[in-house]
Amino acid sequence: MPHCLAKDAQDAIDLHIIDTKSLDDWLAGQDETVRDWVRLNGFSGKLGQTLLIPADGDRAVIALAGYGTATKRARTHFPLASAATKLPEGTYRIASGLPEDMAETECLGWLLSGYRFDRYKSKSDKVVALVPPQGVDADRVAILAEAETMIRDLVNTPASDMSPQHLAEAATALAEEHGAEIATIVGDDLLEQNFPLIHTVGRAAATPPRLIDMRWGTSGPKLTLVGKGVCFDTGGLNLKPGSSMSLMKKDMGGAAHVLGIARMIMAMKLPIQLRVLIPAVENSVSGSSFRPGDILASRKGLTVENNNTDAEGRLVLADALALASEDKPDLILSMATLTGAARVAVGPDLAPFYTDDDDDALALSAAAARVDDPVWRMPFHEAYETRIEPANADLDNAPSGGFAGSITAALFLRRFVSDARYVHFDIYAWQPSNAPARPLGGVGTGARAVFDALPHMLKL
């Protein structure tokens, strides 16, 4: 990542962050030469504007970054990042204008403004460094940036290089980096160890399905993260049209997110017992594909009438959630790119979540506001339970009618959780257009909010 945080440097350029309302006040404290230069160059404090003010010898001694208006800043994430990408190579020190409560978030945005998915294409090696303001934990910011970068890289990688096996390899590398234990159940062993739904969904693919199980920490409250790892989703026999299949490399976004959160937890050494479960499959088409109308067995013993093979994510999560419950953790949290209905409801920027626990909901909402990672609570609406109860099985994975699709999916998942507080995120994991520090492509949605809320949720 070409943008970085730096220790204090004598040659760092002072960077003044100036919003449109404060420009006149700032100019009033400068000498006439500076005032004339700023006016001559048309600097107005507009969001994303930059200006270097030279001194003798053409050395830039002052840099200005426009911070816009409060209204403009509210419409974007990481507003300082829009200026960071326009500054020339060098090291900068924030001299004024950055609100204290935004310092950590803007430092993170500075780092992420240098993100490019470069596995298949080279990128600029220009280094733009920032000396973080006093009070900002640079190590913490770097960990958050590394986790977000991992989430983006995993989601952006095409399915040809991000199969269930590749996803397991990525999880193994993370486990080895932080001294975690990891085990993987592969192929027909899933049947022998009673994970029939994971096996059913993934059995048609050339790469066998698997369940990834990572553990870290030996004391403290138990947290289990469950992430949907559908590495590519054709829709199965209910085949998606081409326009709906083009982004299906991102259907393992839930897995990428829980691995990102796990990286944060382990790198920051939170005093918890962490478990990460990822059912990793490809939903493909072959002679062994599962069919619409099949009635499927699950680990928990509940039967599922499969009314749409494109509603496979909740099937693989069901077995993983049943396993998670057997360990009796204090909290189970799942993340999945589960339903288009969630996107229709809240769009790509908000991470909708479900929980029956009001304290957990408040903790997540407060954390989201602190770290600029917006979330929105959705209801486990009891009146819709009948929608997932068909005539011929215990549960229906794809109720007809199309109403409340995200809610019925969440209710379906909740049926497989026992004796634990449960939070479910129905995320998008994709930035649909370029924005400051958020280029088009894979993106973390809700991961930082979860991490920031965990100390409250687990009473650390």
More reliable by pLDDT, 4 or 435: 435
Q: Is residue 1 scored above 60 in pLDDT?
A: no
* Catalytic annotation, pick one of 240, 370, 377, 421: 240
Report how far residue 221's alpha carbon sits from residue 352's, in angstroms, rounded to the nearest whole number: 25
Mean pLDDT, residues 31-53 taken together: 95
Q: Is residue 127 scored above 90 in pLDDT?
A: no
Q: What is the pLDDT of residue 42?
A: 97
Separation in Å, CA 378 to CA 132, 277, 311: 37, 24, 20
Q: What is the pLDDT of residue 9?
A: 76
Q: What is the pLDDT of residue 336?
A: 98
CB atoms within 10 A of CB 333: 29
Q: What is the pLDDT of residue 56?
A: 66
- Kindly report which listed range (46-60, 148-162, 246-260) carries the lowest average pLDDT score: 46-60
Domains and CATH numbers, the chain: 3-134 (3.40.220.10), 143-457 (3.40.630.10)
Instruction: State yes or no: is 240 an active-site residue.
Output: yes
Report how far residue 455's alpha carbon sits from residue 460's, in angstroms, rounded to the nearest whole number: 5
Cβ contacts of 176 within 8 Å, gap of 6 or more = none
- Kindly report which listed range (6-10, 147-151, 309-313) carries the lowest average pLDDT score: 6-10
Query: pLDDT of 92-124, one tens digit each?
Result: 999 999 999 999 999 999 999 999 999 998 876
Q: What is the pLDDT of residue 55?
A: 75
* Catalytic annotation, pick one of 46, 203, 314, 387: 314
The token duo for 273 is: 């017992």
pTM of the model as a whole: 0.96
Q: Is residue 345 scored above 90 in pLDDT?
A: yes
Mean pLDDT, residues 389-411 taken together: 96
The token duo for 231 is: 């590495």
Query: pLDDT of 419-460, one tens digit each?
Result: 999 999 999 999 999 999 999 999 999 999 999 999 999 999
Q: How confident is the model at residue 58 (pLDDT cuts 50, 70, 90)?
A: low
Instruction: State yes or no: is 314 an active-site residue.
Output: yes
Q: What is the pLDDT of residue 236?
A: 98
Mean pLDDT, residues 249-271 taken together: 98
Q: At what angle do helices 138-156 and 164-178 cross, to 10 degrees?
A: 160
Mean pLDDT, residues 180-199 taken together: 98
Query: pLDDT of 283-314, one tens digit each?
Result: 999 999 999 999 999 999 999 999 999 999 99
Separation in Å, CA 381 to CA 243, 244, 405, 412: 32, 28, 12, 12
Q: What is the pLDDT of residue 59?
A: 65
Cβ contacts of 192 within 8 Å, gap of 6 or more = none
Report how far residue 251's alpha carbon sits from residue 280's, in angstroms, rounded to the nearest whole number: 10
Report how far residue 84's alpha carbon sits from residue 346's, in angstroms, rounded to the nearest whole number: 29
* pLDDT cut 70: percent of the chain above it: 98
Q: At what angle do helices 138-156 and 447-457 cross, to 10 degrees?
A: 130
List own/partner pairs for 365-368 with CB under 8 A and 24 or more apart: 366/453, 366/456, 367/448, 367/449, 367/450, 367/452, 367/453, 367/456, 368/446, 368/449, 368/452, 368/453
Report how far residue 374's alpha carbon sits from residue 318's, in angstroms, rounded to the nearest whole number: 26
